């Protein structure tokens, strides 16, 4: 396992981090299975566990808390807030009112008195940066969080938040958690240059592109991954973007074979090769999944392999732009771009 400094925090983190989105009903995992995954991840050198309040309605945090009991100090523990937690209209977002409550709820579910990294799951256009950063700064000073970061923020919002922190003399985001894979490289255009400029640590989610780069999805095979069961539209090869992904996967498989690598090693090695990326978040559902991903922990891709990847999916290219989560609202809602 490789270890890197998380931005400018001085905290040493593993280049692979364990994402716990599949803990609970989303991944249909039991507590025993979740604990076994945590045990194996720690044994394999992973020291970062990332979850969120919204994962399975808090069930993921509860499972993580039970799995790390008695060894909390050995783990860089991260969670998130912003997504709806029920039907109440104020039980979501990044207002001070909600973040104070949401963090207390997360700490209770995790069974801890603080988290190392507290992340705003998405940019909240209804809440000012000053409001959110002020609340996070107070929670940090209270000892409930050590650091705070953003997740899937557009580049211009990352910049704006840095300037708001400076202008109002508040704590700042020290990490960003964007989606990033060989098939979705758009963040190379704007987000990663910004995180480098401001010295943010980057924990990339979905490095296997929702299973497209796991080796399980190939031409002529029926797609039977767990993700395809509840997001079938993202795996229907009649959709042009999905067809483009499958075509790229076939060519990438040839590159992996020639290099003596698995598709997982190629995919994770690509993400962790970028100098702006601190680590890649893996989200295994089973021990077999985890072992196959841990096998990529020390993978270093040669320049020739990286060049070959660039010819298949050019730098800065998203093969499925409609699947991005950091698109400005005005591009999605016509009413926001009409007078």
3-state helix, strand, coil in the chain (%, to 5): 45, 15, 40
Residue with tokens 């067809």: 243
Count of C-beta atoms within a 10 Å radius of residue 104: 12
What is the rounded distance in angstroms from the CA atom of residue 139 to the CA atom of residue 147?
Answer: 10
Q: Which of 55, 118, 147, 180 is catalytic?
A: 55
CA distance 280 to 28: 23
Can you tell me the distance from the alpha carbon of 236 to that of 243, in angstroms, rounded to the nearest whole number? 8
Give CA angle at 254 (253, 258), nearest 5°: 115
What does DSSP assign to residue 205?
A: B
Tokens of 125: 């256009």
Q: How many CB atoms within 10 Å of residue 69?
A: 12
The three-state secondary structure class of 3 is strand
Distance CA 234, CA 241 (A): 9
Query: Which two structure tokens, joined as six digits, stand for 232?
Result: 């079938």
Distances in whole angstroms, Cα of residue 242 to Cα of each of 209, 227, 255, 268, 311? 11, 14, 20, 20, 18
Annotated catalytic residue 55? yes
Helices (H) and strands (E) in the chain, counts: 12, 10
Q: Where in the sequence numbering do the catalytic residues fall?
A: 55
């Amino acid at each position: 396992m490789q270890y890197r400094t998380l931005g400018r925090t001085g905290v040493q983190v593993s280049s692979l981090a364990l994402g716990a989105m599949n803990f609970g009903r989303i991944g249909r995992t039991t507590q025993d299975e979740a604990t076994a995954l945590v045990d194996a991840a720690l044994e394999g050198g992973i020291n970062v566990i990332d979850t969120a309040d919204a994962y399975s309605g808090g069930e993921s945090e509860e499972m993580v808390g039970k799995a790390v009991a008695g060894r909390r100090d050995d783990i860089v523990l991260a969670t998130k807030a912003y997504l709806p937690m029920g039907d109440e209209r104020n039980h979501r977002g990044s207002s001070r009112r909600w973040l104070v409550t949401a963090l207390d709820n997360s700490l209770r579910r995790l069974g801890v008195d603080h988290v190392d990294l507290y992340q705003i799951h998405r940019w909240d256009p209804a809440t000012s940066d000053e409001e959110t950063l002020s609340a996070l700064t107070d929670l940090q000073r209270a000892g409930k969080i050590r650091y705070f970061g953003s997740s899937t923020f557009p580049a211009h919002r990352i910049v704006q938040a840095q300037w708001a922190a400076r202008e109002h003399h508040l704590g700042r985001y020290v990490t960003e958690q964007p989606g990033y894979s060989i098939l979705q490289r758009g963040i190379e255009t704007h987000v990663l240059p910004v995180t480098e400029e401001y010295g943010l640590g980057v924990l990339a989610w979905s490095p296997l592109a929702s299973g497209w780069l796991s080796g399980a999805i190939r031409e002529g095979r029926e797609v039977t991954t767990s993700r395809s069961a509840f997001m079938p539209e993202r795996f229907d090869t009649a959709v042009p973007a999905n067809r483009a992904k499958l075509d790229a996967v076939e060519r990438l498989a040839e590159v992996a074979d020639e290099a003596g690598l698995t598709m997982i090693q190629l995919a994770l090695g690509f993400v962790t090769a970028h100098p702006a990326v601190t680590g890649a978040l893996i989200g295994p559902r089973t021990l077999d999944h985890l072992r196959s991903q841990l096998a990529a922990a020390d993978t270093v891709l040669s320049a020739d392999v990286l060049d070959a990847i660039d010819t298949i999916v050019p730098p800065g290219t998203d093969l499925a732009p409609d699947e991005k989560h950091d698109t400005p609202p005005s591009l999605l809602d016509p009413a926001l771009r009409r007078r």
